C-alpha cells in the first residue's frame, strides 16, 4: 500500500520492484511505437498478488488496451489466489472496468495515497 508515502518514495519503491522477478511489466504501443498503456503487477513479500499499476492513455480508453493489459496480468498470476489492487476512490470509470474483470470493492479500505488522494482496495477472488 502507498498510504502515507510521498510520490518520490512510491516511485523509488516501484523502480526497485521492477528489478525483482516477482514483478512483471508490460506496455502497449500504437503503430508508431508510442506507449499508450502499461501495467506493473507484482507479488508482495507475503505472496499476495497486486495489479500494481495499470494506466491507459486517455485517447485510447475504450479501445481494448486496458483489457489486453489486464488479461496479461490475470494470466501471469496464480488463479488459485486472489488479486488485489488500489484505485482512486472517485475514479468511477476505472472501478467499472475492474468490476468487469471480477473485482469488488473492499468495504472500509479507503486510505490516502500521497497523503491526499483517496484510494480504495478492490479484490478479485481466486478461481475455484
The helix (H) or strand (E) run that includes residue 26 is: strand 26-29
C-alpha cell at 113: 495515497
d(CA 116, CA 7): 11
> Which tens digit of pLDDT belongs to each residue from 24-78?
999 999 999 999 999 999 999 899 999 989 999 999 999 999 999 999 999 999 9
Tell which wins on pLDDT, 12 or 29: 29
Domain ranges of the chain: 7-124
> Which tens digit of pLDDT belongs to each residue from 92-112?
999 999 999 999 999 988 888
Answer yes or no: is pLDDT of 1 > 60.
no
Structural class in CATH, domain 7-124:
alpha beta
Own/partner pairs, 33-40, CB within 8 angstroms, 24+ separation? 36/60, 36/65, 37/65, 37/66, 37/68, 37/69, 38/69, 39/69, 39/70, 39/72, 39/73, 40/14
Tell which wins on pLDDT, 37 or 6: 37
Amino acid at each position: 500500500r502507498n498510504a502515507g508515502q510521498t510520490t518520490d518514495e512510491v516511485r523509488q519503491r516501484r523502480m526497485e520492484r521492477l528489478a525483482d522477478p516477482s514483478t512483471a511489466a508490460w506496455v502497449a504501443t500504437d503503430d508508431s511505437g508510442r506507449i499508450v498503456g502499461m501495467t506493473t503487477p507484482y507479488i508482495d513479500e507475503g505472496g499476495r498478488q497486486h495489479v500494481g499499476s495499470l494506466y491507459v492513455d486517455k485517447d485510447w480508453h475504450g479501445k481494448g488496451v486496458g483489457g489486453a493489459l489486464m488479461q496479461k496480468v490475470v494470466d501471469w498470476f496464480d488463479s488459485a489466489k486472489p488479486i488485489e489492487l488500489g484505485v482512486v476512490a472517485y475514479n468511477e470509470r476505472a472501478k467499472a472496468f475492474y468490476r468487469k474483470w471480477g473485482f469488488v470493492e473492499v468495504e472500509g479500505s479507503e486510505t490516502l495515497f500521497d497523503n491526499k488522494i483517496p484510494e480504495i482496495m478492490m479484490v478479485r477472488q481466486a478461481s475455484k
